[in-house]
Amino acid sequence: MGYDAKLRVWRGDDEGGELKDFTVEVNEGEVVLDVIHRLQATQAPDLAVRWNCKAGKCGSCSAEVNGRPRLMCMTRMNTFTEQETVTVTPLRTFPVVRDLVTDVSFNYEKALEMPAFQPPAELKPGEYRMAQVDVERSQEFRKCIECFLCQNTCHVVRDHDENKPAFSGPRMFIRAAELDMHPLDAAENRKEFAQESQGLGMCNITKCCTEVCPEGIHITDNAIIPMKERVVDRKYDPLVWLGSKIFKR
Ligand code: SF4
Ligand code: F3S
Ligand code: FES
């Protein structure tokens, strides 16, 4: 059975804006993105919203629904009561372009800083071989859809623009871990790069990033903590330290 939902949507641009109230029809089985589209079609044709797949796979429709970072296309309206006002606001950590669309280029800039995969020089394309167990270890990280909900949620940069230059964020930490665990990656010092240039040390493992990941990636337990442990091993384990000195000679 359909009903009329109370919707509150942030409207504005980089100069400022406000929450506006609307009443929008909802039908059985619909998600927040359906209702936003109906609002656009019937009452607010200039409402800016980014989306693409409507299947939880492109990572475009990230927003905050009642203050929680969510994919709009994967948030069912029956999560809320019919009497409840559903408030939809843009991601808080990134600058607003207009309405529900934010400028997420911070994430692409951080991705560009990441040293690329570097296969051993002696191996030629076609000679790369990996054990299944190594493939499986990184498979989890490759499920990332780059929705940036984890980046938006992390308290290190949420409301702290001043930390952004020094902090790449959880999405980049899983990429760093994936490459670090890759048996054919010959790039040196990934852990040191993560610690010193990507701000791994600023993460205090609150796990909020893991809680909001729509792909269920264990960002903290499987990527961040193992990376932190290896940094510590390398920095403070006297044997590892001695070994690294000897082999560098
Ligand atoms: Fe989104 Fe999860 Fe990837 Fe973060 S790790 S960008 S929350 S899919
Ligand atoms: Fe931030 Fe996740 Fe660490 S939320 S503090 S990157 S565990
Ligand atoms: Fe693609 Fe929501 S529209 S993830």
If one counts every other C-beta atom within 10 angstroms of the C-beta of residue 174, the result is 27
User: What pLDDT shows up at residue 18?
Assistant: 98
Packed helices 225-236 and 238-248: angle between N→C axes, nearest 10 degrees: 70
Q: Is the pLDDT of residue 45 over 60?
A: yes
User: Is the beta carbon of 171 within 6 A of some atom in ligand 1?
Assistant: yes
d(CA 133, CA 205): 26
CA of 113 to the centre of ligand 1 (A): 18
d(CA 12, CA 9): 10
Q: Kindly list the protein residues whose Cβ atom lies closer than 6 A to any atom of ligand 2.
A: 153-154, 156, 170, 203-209, 220, 224
Instruction: With beta carbons less than 8 A apart as the criterion, state whether 199 and 168 touch.
Output: yes
User: What pLDDT shows up at residue 102?
Assistant: 98
Nearest CA to ligand 1 atom 1: 147
If one counts every other C-beta atom within 10 angstroms of the C-beta of residue 37, the result is 19
Report pTM.
0.91
pLDDT one-digit tens code per residue, 63-99: 999 999 999 999 999 999 999 999 999 999 999 999 9
Q: Which of 31, 36, 37, 51 gets mutated to test ligand 3 (max ligand atoms within 8 A of its CB)?
A: 51
CA neighbours closer than 13 Å in the CB half-sphere of residue 92: 17
pLDDT one-digit tens code per residue, 121-158: 898 888 888 899 999 989 999 999 999 999 999 999 99
User: What pLDDT shows up at residue 249?
Assistant: 42
Q: Above pLDDT 90, what percent of the chain?
A: 81
For residue 148, give the ligand 1 atom closest to its CA. Answer: 6
Nearest CA to ligand 1 atom 8: 144
Instruction: With beta carbons less than 8 A apart as the criterion, state whether 39 and 25 touch.
Output: no
CA of 186 to the centre of ligand 2 (A): 27
pLDDT one-digit tens code per residue, 10-35: 999 999 999 999 999 999 999 999 99
Confidence of residue 190 (pLDDT cuts 50, 70, 90): confident
pLDDT one-digit tens code per residue, 94-126: 999 999 999 999 999 999 999 999 998 898 888
The gap from C-alpha 64 to its chain's centroid, in whole angstroms, comes to: 13
